[in-house]
Amino acid sequence: MANLDHEKNRAAWNDMVEIHYDHPDYKLKEFLNGWNSLKEIERTALGDVNGKSLLHLMCQFGMDTLSWGRLGADVTGVDISDKSIEYAHKLKQAADMPDADFIRSDLLELNGKIDTKFDIVFQSHGTLCWLADLNKWAEVIAYHLKPDGTFLVVDGHPYNVLWETETMTYLDKKPERYKNERDYCDRDFIIEKELVEWQHPLSEIINSLISVGLTIEFLHEYDKGFYAVEEDWYQVGDYWYPPNGAPRYPLMFALKAVKK
């Protein structure tokens, strides 16, 4: 049965994707001219993906998915938002990558919709907070990995909750619901529809993956972010720092696990 909070997010993301697709921050023009949207952490962590099958979870309009495709991976992207998948198809046509696959599905309902097993399952940058249940999330990852397959997640550090919101705590179980939020990309766009976010501490992320039998290869924490949270953040390479340099707390993490 569909998760009703996820369905609310689906509706809100449909509105947001329309704004994001050709927003300058997402660099559509550069991508179509050959630029690769993947950042240093995921590229280093996964290394050579040439000839490997890769499932990209929560892919939005698929720019990162297609970027893995350009590095030689055989790619499939999944997203709950209808508009995301519509735009992903548009982007794959514009990029002339007819072999890339995109599937609309709530991530937590993916098992049974596709049975394919992949060499790599990947997700990044603004994903875990949209998931109500990390045990189911981990089951989906384990189910779709081949033996010896690799899972990589790069995302905002759960510690961020302490400075991003005043209402949630690090160990909060209840989701946060909000409306009329400013879009992170187009700061003039107000997302009128309700969004629902969950807080997942590192222990929950790690333990859910262990509980489905995955072996953790590494967990890294970083003092840099994957986007400019405020306008005064500055960029170094692929990443962003708040004014006055690196903060005293982690902004991102990367976790790599394998299915033995």
Ligand X SMILES: C[S@@+](CC[C@H](N)C(=O)[O-])C[C@H]1O[C@@H](n2cnc3c(N)ncnc32)[C@H](O)[C@@H]1O
Residues of this chain that interact with ligand X (CB under 6 A) are 6, 9, 13, 58-60, 63-64, 79-81, 84, 106-108, 124-127, 130-131
CB-nearer residue toward ligand X: 147 or 237? 237
Burial class (CB in 10 A: 0-12, 13-18, 19+), 85: buried
C-beta of residue 33 within 8 angstroms of C-beta of residue 98:
no
CB-nearer residue toward ligand X: 190 or 215? 190
Which residues, at least 6 apart from 257, have a Cβ–Cβ distance to it below 8 Å? 150, 151, 209, 214, 215, 216, 217
CB-nearer residue toward ligand X: 5 or 172? 5
CB-nearer residue toward ligand X: 61 or 147? 61
Burial string for 135-165 (b: 16+ CB within 10 Å, else e) reads ebbbbbbbbbbeeebbbbbbbbbbbbbeeee
Please state the closest distance from residue 125 (CB atom) to ligand X, in A: 4
Please state the closest distance from residue 106 (CB atom) to ligand X, in A: 5
Please state the closest distance from residue 226 (CB atom) to ligand X, in A: 9
CB-nearer residue toward ligand X: 94 or 244? 94
C-beta of residue 209 within 8 angstroms of C-beta of residue 138:
yes
Please state the closest distance from residue 244 (CB atom) to ligand X, in A: 26
Shortest-Cβ-distance residue relative to ligand X: 126
Per DSSP, the three-state class of 109 is: helix
Rounded CA separation 234/228 (Å):
7
Please state the closest distance from residue 91 (CB atom) to ligand X, in A: 11
Per DSSP, the three-state class of 4 is: helix
C-beta of residue 110 within 8 angstroms of C-beta of residue 144:
yes
CB-nearer residue toward ligand X: 60 or 199? 60
Please state the closest distance from residue 62 (CB atom) to ligand X, in A: 7
